[in-house]
Structure 1
Amino acid sequence: MTTPEVQHQTAQQRFVLQLDSAEALLDYTLHGNNIDFHHTFVPPAFRGKGLAEQLVRHGLNWAKTQQYQIHASCWYVQKFLR
C-alpha cells in the first residue's frame, strides 16, 4: 500500500487520508484562535500502519503554522502534546 497524501477539508474541519474505498480522519473544531482536535478514526483494515500518527502530525503542524492555541479532547492526539 502506498501511503496517500493527507487532504485538508477545511469546510468539514478535518484532515483525511483516502484509503481505497475508506477514509482515515482527524476531526477538529475551531473556536476563534483555539483549535480542538477531538476525533481520530482509522478503518480497522488499515490500523497499525501509522496512518493516525501521520494525520495527527500533519494536523498539529498545520495548526502551529496558523498560530492556533492547540487543545486535544481526543486521547490519541493528547499523546503528541505531552
Structure 2
Amino acid sequence: MSDATYEVVNNRENQQFEVRLDGELAQLTYRYYKKDIAFMHTTVPPAMAGKGVASALARAAFAFAAAEKKLVMVYCPFVAKFIKDHPEYRSQLDPAYYGKG
C-alpha cells in the first residue's frame, strides 16, 4: 500500500467517487437510500491495485457522508473490510441497519 495522495472527484451525476491515474479509472459507487447513503461497489483496475487508491476512495466517501450528515450503509466488500481496518469510521454506520455491532 502506498502513502500517495490521490485526487478523488465526486461525480454526482453518476453517483461515484473517482480517481483517474495514467488513463485508468477507479471508482466507488454510492446511492441514496431512505435517509442514508449506501456504498455499493468499489472497482480498481489491476494497474492501480495495491497503491492505496481504494482506501482513498473510501476515505473520500466517508468524508462526503459526514459533510452531508448522512449515515452509511455498506454493501461493498472492500468498504466492509476497510471499516474493520479503520474502526474510526464505525460511528458513521446506521445503527438501525447494523445494530449495535
TM-score by length of 1: 0.88
- Which piece of structure 1 moves more, 46-55 or 60-69? 60-69
1:57-76 equivalences under 5 Å are 57-76=59-78
Larger radius of gyration: 2
1:3 Cα offset (Å):
4.5
Question: What amino acid is aligned across from residue 75 of structure 2 in structure 1?
Answer: S
Give RMSD over aligned pairs. Answer: 1.5
Name the SS of the counterpart of 1:12 in structure 2.
coil
Give the aligned partner of residue 50 of structure 2: 48
Residue in 2 that maps onto 1:7: 9
1:23-56: per-residue Cα shift (whole Å, max 9, x none)?
0100001124211101001100110010000000
**Other-structure match for 1:79:** 81
Separation in 2 of the partners of 1:8 and 1:21?
18
Which residues of structure 2 form unaligned runs of 5+?
Answer: 85-101
Q: Give the letter for the 1:67 counterpart.
A: K
Aligned AA (1:62): F
Contact 2:44/2:54 (8 A) holds in 1: yes
Q: Which runs of 4+ in 1 moved over 2 A?
A: 79-82
Per-residue CA shift, 1:47-78, capped at 9, x if unaligned?
Answer: 00100000001111110121112011011111
Question: What is the letter of the counterpart of residue 23 of structure 1?
Answer: L
How many corresponding residue pairs? 81
**5+ residue gaps in structure 1?**
none
